[in-house]
Chains A and B, each alone.
Chain A
Amino acid sequence: MATELGVSDVLKARKDYNAALASAGRRERATWFPLALLILLTLLPALQITGGHNYTLHLMLYAMMYAAMASSWNILGGYTGYISLGHNVFFCIGGYFSGMILAYFGVTSLLTAPFAGLAAAIVGFAVGLITLKMRGPTFIISSIALLMVARILFDHWQFVGGSNGVALPQMDIPAQWAKLPYYYGMMIVCALTVWASYRIKHSKFGLGLRAISQDEVKAESAGIDTRFYKVLAFAISAFFVGMAGAIWGEYITYLRPNIFLIILVAANMVLMCILGGKGTVAGPIVGAVVLIAFNEFSVTFFGSSEINLLITGLVMVLALKFFPAGIVGTLAKKGRLPRVLDWD
């Protein structure tokens, strides 16, 4: 027997269906996963009780640093659509800011990291006011120019050691536990960055940034102060990268321009975001883990040669062939994203 449906019936059915989907989505969101991951990372240093896991801790610290930096870059590059290839300038500013305070006054970067982030954010805000007037390829080139200017500046600034750099004092801790303060420091920076990235994506500000990435003229005409939004996104993005730089500087006990100001550092942030899924919350973390894992794999099996760069390139080519919107982005579009990675 055929059933006749009126327009209102269809609308009601559609509304019920959407409501059911929404509540199902809420039920299924695996918020426990990032929390479990955080607890696991907190407990990981316990391995040192048996000793000999310094390399594991180093690798995790390195991955957390890049996860934080890629997530931070994602706020500008992913949500707003402005590709910066000079973001390591803020990594450098953070590293030198805290490093010089440590060198001259003996205050650890674990305490000064937020101020280093603030210094990076202030510079980011000022730079953004100028460079964010440009769009597309012009902005990308301006970000590379920023990197080149910063490199020349730090190479010739004798107060911060010039191109020879400056050695930093180390904490008086037994080697077995020496990595722990920085490990936890970087973990906090990483957790804060990912949390901020999530909060921004779900805020009115984040919606504005996504609108800007789609069509800036339309966004401006919708009443969004696009310049303010972009500059603020740039500053926030610089803040977390600056904090990561502060902790990394003291951790490696040496500051030198060619550690911070090589384009590979910025390229890594970009590649990790593209690989994981630009504009998604979990994407940069997945990208950081996958790229670092493949890099370590190639170093382990092929030695410390440039083959790891070749393998990184190969991973990128294959990943983008099969995951054009990044791993998380593509799986989400196909509806195949594992629940544990659905952080958006």
Chain B
Amino acid sequence: MLEVRALAKHFGGIKAVDNCSFTAEAGKITALIGPNGAGKTTAFNCISRTMAPTAGEILLDGERIDHLKPHQVTRRGLSRTFQITRNLEDLTVLENLVVQSKVHGWRALFEPAITKEELKKAEEILAFLNITRLAYEETRNLSYGQKKLMDFGALLMSDPKIILLDEPAGGVNPSLLAEIVEHIRALNGQGLTVLIVEHNMELVMSLSDKVVVMAHGEIIAEGPPAMVQTDPKVLEAYLGGTNVEPAHA
């Protein structure tokens, strides 16, 4: 599904991501973890082309997407959320969802802002996320957690093949987090591929099929959660030493 080959992103002499290779298999949940400054979000930005990589190849379903513009990557079926929610504050929740729909180019001039089909689809997504009541609310009036949910819903409007979630649990209360986890599981159950960056180890270990660990811009471990959490290199990267008990899932 998603294949990253020797990805590098350098800022002058700083190698934020270097020789980073991993795959996110179709229908699976892959987690990208690592300590602060490991290069996870930079890798995410390069994959979604919000940032141009210095070197490397990114393939989606076997086709290179590393030369595309961000909107073209989205149209190929790869959608993402941001670490700090980026919402269109003056737009309603419904508009935030619909803006992600698939009408583009000259056609957009003659299509109404929200078509009946889009309205129906958006209503289904809002109902799935239990935020139907917020449909006509301006985004600026939403709580942080509600914005996270809305962001999640907006991804689904474009019928993505794979979604990239950048710290979906960040700043979210435990009950909402449980809700988000359930939504991710449900969508994955329907065949959606998920790549997730997250610091919440409990969530990562319970949710993921595979964990990829980054430190100092490089991949240091990769494998099933149970294997990764006992890997000495991972423990060293997180805790600065190997003489510790492994984390429990």
Interface residue ranges, A against B (CB under 8 Å): 10-11, 14-15, 18, 200, 202-208, 210-211, 214-215, 217-226, 228-229, 232
User: Which A residues are in CB contact (< 8 Å) with B71?
Assistant: 220-226
B246 to chain A, nearest CB (A): 36
- Give A18 to B135 CA distance when docked, in angstroms: 10
Smallest CB gap from A236: residue in B:
B109
Smallest CB gap from B158: residue in A:
A223
User: Which B residues are in CB contact (< 8 Å) with A226?
Assistant: 71
Q: Is B64 an interface residue (CB 8 A)?
A: no
- A-B pairs under 8 A by CB, number: 100
Q: Quick one: given A202-B112, A222-B74, are A18 and B136 in contact (CB under 8 Å)?
A: yes
Contact among B69, B108, B136 for A205, CB-based, below 8 A: B108
B152 to chain A, nearest CB (A): 13
Contact among B80, B103, B135 for A204, CB-based, below 8 A: B103
- Give A203 to B95 CA distance when docked, in angstroms: 12
Q: Quick one: given A221-B71, A225-B69, are A211 and B99 in contact (CB under 8 Å)?
A: yes
A223, B104: Cβ atoms under 8 Å? yes
Q: Quick one: given A203-B109, A204-B108, A223-B75, are A11 and B133 in contact (CB under 8 Å)?
A: yes
Contact among A200, A215, A223, A228 for B86, CB-based, below 8 A: A215
User: Which A residues are in CB contact (< 8 Å) with B95?
Assistant: 207, 210
- Provide 6 A-B residue pairs closer than 8 Å at the C-beta atoms, listed in order of the A residue: A203-B109, A206-B113, A221-B71, A221-B86, A222-B158, A225-B104
Q: Is B38 an interface residue (CB 8 A)?
A: no
Q: Quick one: given A217-B50, A218-B86, are A225 and B99 in contact (CB under 8 Å)?
A: no
Within 8 A of A (CB), among B151-182: 154, 158
A228 to chain B, nearest CB (A): 7
- Give A200 to B112 CA distance when docked, in angstroms: 9
User: Which A residues are in CB contact (< 8 Å) with B48?
Assistant: 221
User: Which B residues are in CB contact (< 8 Å) with A217?
Assistant: 50, 70, 86
B108, A221: Cβ atoms under 8 Å? no
- Give A224 to B88 CA distance when docked, in angstroms: 13
User: Which A residues are in CB contact (< 8 Å) with B135?
Assistant: 18
